[in-house]
């Protein structure tokens, strides 16, 4: 009994001492098991449960706050990393385009802003150009095919910027999405062509039908007239 009274006096002698004990219990200044043991010794289990519930509630609240701070910090760092990745990609693309522009501008011997096929093939013999293409995962044959592909009108000349943009598109291996888009466009073109040929076939059938009808009608009209 004396131990119980001593515990009550020590931890719960007044309102302020009780609040002080509660503060110590949640801030690490006091082992919360000691104040709880006083209630258990007194067989006051409802008070012990209330005390433990208070400790658990405060602990969860503090844990939630700490977790929220860490999550916010992690999200902020992830956003910064994403921005850095995007900026790094843009910087690499800009650096690549600048290097390609510098290399292939030299091929424009007359300074016209365009590269002829002869200028281009001659420029490909330069070891610096070959090294640049290899660093960009391209080879000479791919560069020649790209030139012919970009030369849509077949005049044997393309603009320097046009070729630089084409190199950017062909840099590295084609992505799955690029192939899917290419296949989609090819299917759309095939459907348009089939529809066009169907329309042409229908029009030809109608023309032949009208022509045959007109010829048959004219033949009947030009037949021998009946005798009087």
Domains of the chain: 2-69 (no CATH), 86-170 (1.10.238.10)
Distance, in Å, from the CA atom of 157 to the CA atom of 208, rounded to the nearest integer, reads 45
Which sign, positive or negative, has the C-alpha torsion 7, 11, 12, 14?
A: positive
Look at residue 53 in the predicted model and tell me its pLDDT: 84
Look at residue 228 in the predicted model and tell me its pLDDT: 45
Distance, in Å, from the CA atom of 140 to the CA atom of 37, rounded to the nearest integer, reads 85
3-class secondary structure, 2: helix
Cα–Cα distances in Å, from 104 out to 125, 139, 220? 12, 14, 74
* pTM for this prediction: 0.39
Distance, in Å, from the CA atom of 124 to the CA atom of 147, rounded to the nearest integer, reads 12
Long-range contacts (CB closer than 8 Å, 24 or more residues apart) made by 27-32: none
Look at residue 7 in the predicted model and tell me its pLDDT: 61
Look at residue 54 in the predicted model and tell me its pLDDT: 82
Tokens of 101: 């522009």
Spatial neighbors of 22 by CB under 8 A, at least 6 apart, are: 54
Look at residue 178 in the predicted model and tell me its pLDDT: 63
Tokens of 166: 């084409």
**What's the distance, CA 53 to chain centroid?**
48
pLDDT tens per residue across all 228 residues of the chain: 566 566 666 677 677 777 877 777 777 777 777 777 777 777 777 877 887 888 888 888 888 888 888 888 888 887 777 778 888 878 887 887 788 788 778 887 777 778 888 888 888 888 888 888 787 777 778 788 878 887 777 788 888 887 777 777 666 445 555 666 666 777 888 888 888 888 888 888 888 877 776 666 665 555 555 554
Look at residue 60 in the predicted model and tell me its pLDDT: 86
């Amino acid at each position: 009994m004396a131990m119980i009274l001593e515990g009550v006096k020590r931890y719960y002698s007044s309102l302020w001492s009780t609040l002080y004990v509660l503060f110590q219990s949640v801030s690490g200044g006091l082992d919360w098991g000691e104040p709880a043991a006083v209630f258990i010794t007194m067989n006051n289990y409802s008070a012990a449960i209330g005390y433990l519930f208070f400790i658990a509630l405060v602990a969860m609240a503090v844990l939630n706050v700490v977790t929220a701070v860490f999550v916010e910090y992690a999200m902020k760092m992830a956003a910064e990393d994403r921005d850095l990745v995007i900026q790094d990609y843009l910087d690499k693309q800009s650096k690549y385009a600048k290097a390609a522009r510098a290399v292939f501008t030299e091929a424009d011997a007359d300074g016209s802003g365009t590269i002829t096929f002869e200028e281009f093939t001659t420029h490909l013999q330069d070891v610096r150009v070959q090294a640049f293409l290899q660093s960009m995962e391209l080879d000479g044959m791919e560069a020649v095919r790209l030139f012919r592909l970009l030369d849509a009108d077949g005049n044997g000349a393309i603009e320097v910027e046009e070729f630089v943009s084409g190199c950017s598109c062909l840099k590295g291996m084609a992505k799955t999405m690029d192939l899917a888009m290419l296949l989609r466009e090819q299917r759309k073109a095939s459907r348009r062509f089939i529809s066009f040929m169907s329309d042409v076939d229908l029009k030809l059938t109608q023309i032949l039908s009208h022509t045959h009808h007109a010829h048959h009608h004219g033949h009947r009209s030009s037949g021998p007239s009946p005798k009087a």
